[in-house]
Amino acid sequence: MSDIHGCYDEFMTMLDKINFSDSDSLILAGDYIDRGEQSFEMLKWIENCPKNVTLLRGNHEEKFSEYAELMLMLDRDEALGTVLNSNADTSALYDSVLYFLDRNSAGYMEFDYYGTVNTLINGYKATLYDLCKWSDIFQKMPYFKKLDINGRTCVVVHAGYTEEFDKGKDGFESVEEFYLYARGRGLSGGIRRGMVIAGHTPTIAQKKFAYNSGNVFRHYDEQKDCIFYDIDCGCVFKSKNSDAKLACIRLEDEEIFYV
C-alpha cells in the first residue's frame, strides 16, 4: 500500500479486508501523514508497527524531518531553551519558527506546509520530544525494498527506482531524490526483468502520466521487460473525487484490493 496520508480508518478497513495476519508481510511505500485528518493515528500505529511490516520513506516523511530539524536548529541558535517534553514550550518554538522565517524574509523556506506539525502540537499536545522521536523513526526508514517475486526482481519504492543514476538525471540531484519524487519520467527508471511498485502520483490526477480513474496504473516496458505499477489511488481525496480509493496489491499474483 502507499500514500495513506492520514487516512487511518481506510487503512484499518484495508487490513481487515485483506485479512492481514502474522503470516503475511506488508510493505508500505511511504507518505503516511499530511493532507488527511488522522496523521496522529498513523504516527501512533507506526510507533507500534508489527514486525512483519516494512515501512518505507516518502517525501512527506522527509519533509517532516526537515521541519523538526528546523525547530531544533532555531532553538539552539537563538538559545531559546525549549524544554523537550513541554508542550507549551514546543508551541512557543513553533511560533518562533514562523516569526523567524517571516522576519528574515525566508518565507520561501518551506515549513509545515500542510499544517500537520501545528495540529500535532496544538491539537494532540505533542512535544518537541515527540516530533524528534517521529523524525528519527522516519530517518531510519529505508528508501526501497527489493524482493524476488516469481523470478522477477521486484522493487517497492515511494516514487521511482533506477540503478543507472547520474547526477542531474531527470532534474534530480541525488538518487534518493529520485526514489522520493520521480514522477512520470520515473518511468525512465525501472529494472531489467523486473517490477517497480510505487505510489506518489495519484491515479485520479488527470493529465498526469498515471491517470487511470482512481484505479491502479500498470505500465509494461517491453525494452526493459519491466512492469511499473502506480498504486496511489488518491485515497485522501475521497471527499472531492468519487474515483479516489486506497489500493493494496498482492505481489505474488498482482491481485488488487480497494477500499
What residues make contact with Mn ion under the rule CB under 5 A?
31, 58-59, 200
C-alpha atoms less than 13 angstroms from C-alpha of 82 in its C-beta half-sphere: 25
CB of 2 to Mn ion, least distance (A): 8
CA distance 201 to 232: 6
Instruction: Please state the separation of Cα 74 from the chain's center in Å.
Output: 26
State the residue number with the nearest CB to Mn ion.
Answer: 200
Q: What is the DSSP letter of 88?
A: H
Nearer to Mn ion, 64 or 94 (CB): 64
Nearer to Mn ion, 56 or 226 (CB): 56
Nearer to Mn ion, 31 or 41 (CB): 31
**Cell matching residue 121:** 502540537
CB of 5 to Mn ion, least distance (A): 9
Residue 48: Cβ-neighbour burial (10 angstroms; 0-12, 13-18, 19+)? exposed
CA distance 122 to 91: 7
For the beta carbon of residue 166, count every other beta carbon within 10 angstroms.
8
CB of 6 to Mn ion, least distance (A): 13
DSSP H helix total and E strand total for the chain: 7, 9
CA distance 159 to 144: 10
CB of 143 to Mn ion, least distance (A): 13
**Cell matching residue 213:** 480513474
Nearer to Mn ion, 75 or 232 (CB): 232
Host H or E run for residue 202: none
Nearer to Mn ion, 169 or 200 (CB): 200
Nearer to Mn ion, 200 or 238 (CB): 200
CA distance 196 to 230: 9
CB of 59 to Mn ion, least distance (A): 4
CB of 108 to Mn ion, least distance (A): 21
CB of 236 to Mn ion, least distance (A): 11
Nearer to Mn ion, 5 or 91 (CB): 5
